[in-house]
Amino acid sequence: MIPKPGKTPLRLLRSFSRLFGVKVYGKLELVNPTGSHKDRESWEVLRDVKAKGFKAVGCASTGNAAISLAAYAFMAGIECHIYVSESINPDKLALIEAFHPKIHIVKGGYGEAIERCNRDAESIGFYNANPGVCYARIVGNSHIGAEIASRLKPKYVICPTNNGTHIVGVWTGLRDTGVKPVMVAATAEETRVADSIAGFHRLEGERLRNTLQESSGFAVDVSDAEIEEALKLLVRKEGIIAEPASAASLAALKHIPLEPGDVVCCTITGLGLKFPRILKLVL
């Protein structure tokens, strides 16, 4: 089996800690092999694919999940189908193509790509790795929560959120190890700079609601200006080149009722070098 990703750094972010008067930690998922937390998901997906005897796997994605799944399927020698919208970021498309999956360009947006992939998974017979139907993705993210819990007992854990797979999995890992922080979903529904979380599609709708309810958590919608401000501080003062969507977790800090002595952990989910055009505009 391919080496399992994970055991990522958990780092005190001193500039954010000083700014907000609390201890702010970053869980640095951008150091995974393809530069995002999606590698944890893909490893669990490929393990499930092999366990269930499938010969092919597929998913729809705005980029990170597709890059990761294509890479891990390539490593495992499994046929891979990737469904992307016609408006996909060209930088991400080039990275997906590097691993030679079968790419399906779908007219419309992410929702249409999901629907097409779901239909083809039934008709062609490949393993459907889409959020909302693939529990292996949640299992992958649960390891992030378990790793946080082994080092910290945070009051808040903030996760960039779109479908909800990431935050649901992180909560699962935390809860199962007996650590129960308030979970905060950092969303940016109308964003123009953080395409990984644009739209807030909620494909894990019921699990997402349960996560927020069980943890007494809530969702915070952040603006592009707040994301850009957080990203600049993260790059300039912390030396962490994250993608804009990752900075949403840090942008959410100003919307949380923090008190002296609080400990906060923000997941930094993806690498900014996949977004050279956007970084040039934002930084």
Give me the CATH number covering residue 244.
Answer: 3.40.50.1100
156 shares a domain with 53: no
Q: What is the pLDDT of residue 90?
A: 85
Cα gap 126→219, rounded to integer Å: 34
Residues of the chain above pLDDT 90, percent: 86
- What does the pLDDT average to over 204-223? 96
Q: Are 188 and 143 part of one and the same domain?
A: yes
* Separation CA 262–CA 131 (nearest Å): 32
Q: Residue 114 and residue 45: Cα distance in Å, rounded?
A: 17
What lies within 8 Å, CB to CB, of 272 at 6+ separation is 30, 231, 235, 241, 242, 243, 244, 246, 279
pLDDT tens string 83-104: 999 988 788 899 999 999 999 9
Number of domains making up the chain: 2
Same domain, yes or no, for 189 and 233? yes
Residues 49 and 181 in one domain: no
Distance CA 9, CA 266 (A): 12
Give the HSE-up count for residue 89: Cα atoms under 13 Å, Cβ half-sphere.
23
Q: Which domain holds residue 46?
A: 38-128
Assess whether 269 and 234 both reside in one domain. Answer: yes
Question: Predicted confidence band at 195 (pLDDT cuts at 50, 70, 90)?
Answer: confident
Residue 200 shares a structural domain with residue 88: no
Together in a domain, 143 and 91: no
Residues 6+ apart with CB under 8 A from 164: 131, 185, 202, 203, 204, 205, 207, 208, 211
- Give yes or no: residues 47 and 33 share one domain: no
Reported as a pLDDT band with limits 50, 70 and 90, residue 278 is confident
Q: Which of 105, 128, 151 is the last residue of a domain?
A: 128
Final residue belonging to a domain, choices 128, 156, 176 = 128
Q: What is the pLDDT of residues 155-168, one digit of tens each?
A: 999 999 999 999 99
In a domain, 278, yes or no: yes
Query: Could you tell me the two tokens for 123?
Result: 């008709």
- Give domain status of residue 5, yes or no: no
Whole-prediction pTM value?
Answer: 0.96
194 and 237, same structural domain? yes
Asked whether the CA dihedral 69, 73, 76, 78 is positive or negative, the reply is positive
